[in-house]
Amino acid sequence: MKKLRNILSLVFIFLFFAGLLFNYYKQNSSYEVTEFLFDTTCTVSANGKNAKIACKEAFSEIEEIHTLTNFYSDTSDVSKINHAKEYEPVVIDKRTMEILSVALEVCEKSGGAFDITIAPLSVLWDFKREKPDIPTKTDINLAKEKINYKNMVIDKENLTVLKKNAETKIDLGAAAKGYASDKAVEIFKKYNISAVIDLGGNVSCTGKNSNSKNGLWKIGLQTPFKQTGSYEKTVEIAEGTVVTSGTYQRFFEIDEKKYHHIIDPKTGYPKEASYNAVTITGKSSLLADCLSTACFVLGKEQGVKLANYYNVEIYYY
């Protein structure tokens, strides 16, 4: 009898410590960070050994990409390019070059529906203002004349970029988040752990989802203008990215008309469309980011063609 009691006590002690250890491991194997960057809420969460270190490293990389591409900071690569003279070569970071290289290809393939030299128009519409107004037709036409991605010349080997026209200015708002997301994924892969990177409407997943039987990630596509969490559709992905461009993300309203932030470079006005969102799912978040904006402007018919060319899934809703 005494022997049995001793055995039971040992089993109890073992279970107690095993529970403590399990809890300790659980706490140290999942981690989440949220920060406000790229003018949106960015959350990175990871599951696995070194989750905390990996999340911190991923966030510092995301911050660096934000710093390089920040339109409003005088020291960013984007500012250096924007303030450069005609044909003056500007040396940029390798990462900015990677963004420019993919983005300029999408500019070309979309026939200019996507155009990173949209800055004169995005400054004019400025969706950050407290009291926005509609720009005048004259100002829109003046801004439109300055927009042409063909004025940008990149030299990938020497990491330089030059503009054929001093007035050309770039805005990487439609691409930088996607790239930051890709770079964060690289870090989690290095640590070999699962993670979700959510940079406001731009979600990337890596590794297996330990909360689902098949290891896949379920991402809800937000129904435009409905309460957060009401989904139009849910997509299931393994490794990959789900990126949305939508009219509901940034807009203002005047006389009951909505003006959103996705500008058609041909008209100079927010793209008029029968849909409110375009979602791209694929492997590269940088490409998906460029494509979601490009396909929004292109419209369904040409947008689907472009998505097929790049072998990504597309949803209009």
**Sheet with strand 240-246: strands edge to edge:** 30-37, 40-47, 194-199, 202-206, 240-246, 277-282, 313-316
Q: Which are the contacts of 52, defined by CB distance < 8 A and separation ≥ 6?
A: 28, 31
**Residue 285 binds to Mg ion (criterion: CB under 5 A):** no
**Looking at the DSSP assignment, which residues form a beta bridge with residue 196?**
45, 205
Task: Closer to Mg ion by CB, 48 or 201: give it.
Answer: 201
Smallest gap from residue 117 Cβ to ligand AMP (A)? 8
**Looking at the DSSP assignment, which residues form a beta bridge with residue 152?**
163
Site string (286-315) toward Mg ion, x via CB under 5 A: ---x--xx----------------------
Task: Closer to ligand AMP by CB, 54 or 184: give it.
Answer: 184
Q: Which helix (H) or strand (E) holds 315?
A: strand 313-316
Smallest gap from residue 22 Cβ to ligand AMP (A)? 42
Q: Which are the contacts of 179, defined by CB distance < 8 A and separation ≥ 6?
A: 65, 95, 98, 99, 102, 285, 286, 289
Task: Closer to ligand AMP by CB, 204 or 249: give it.
Answer: 249
Smallest gap from residue 11 Cβ to ligand AMP (A)? 57
> What is the DSSP secondary structure assignment for residue 201, as one 8-state letter?
S
Nearest Cα to Cα of residue 80 among 169, 145, 148: 169
Residues forming the site for ligand AMP (CB under 6 A):
114-116, 118, 122, 171, 173-174, 245, 249-250, 261-263, 265, 289, 292-293, 297
Smallest gap from residue 289 Cβ to Mg ion (A)? 4
User: 217 is in the binding site of which of ligand AMP, Mg ion, none (Cβ under 5 to 8 A by kind)?
Assistant: none
Smallest gap from residue 214 Cβ to ligand AMP (A)? 30
Segment lying near Mg ion (by CB under 5 A), choices 65-73, 189-197, 230-238, 284-292: 284-292
Pairing of strands 152-155, 40-47: unpaired
Nearest Cα to Cα of residue 65 among 198, 180, 181: 180
Task: Closer to ligand AMP by CB, 31 or 125: give it.
Answer: 125
Task: Closer to ligand AMP by CB, 82 or 293: give it.
Answer: 293
CA–CA separation, 221 and 230 (whole Å): 8
Task: Give, as ranges, the residues between 160 and 189 that touch Mg ion (CB under 5 A).
Answer: 174
Smallest gap from residue 88 Cβ to ligand AMP (A)? 23
Task: Closer to Mg ion by CB, 174 or 205: give it.
Answer: 174
Q: Which are the contacts of 37, defined by CB distance < 8 A and separation ≥ 6?
A: 62, 63, 66, 199
Task: Closer to ligand AMP by CB, 5 or 72: give it.
Answer: 72
Smallest gap from residue 262 Cβ to ligand AMP (A)? 5
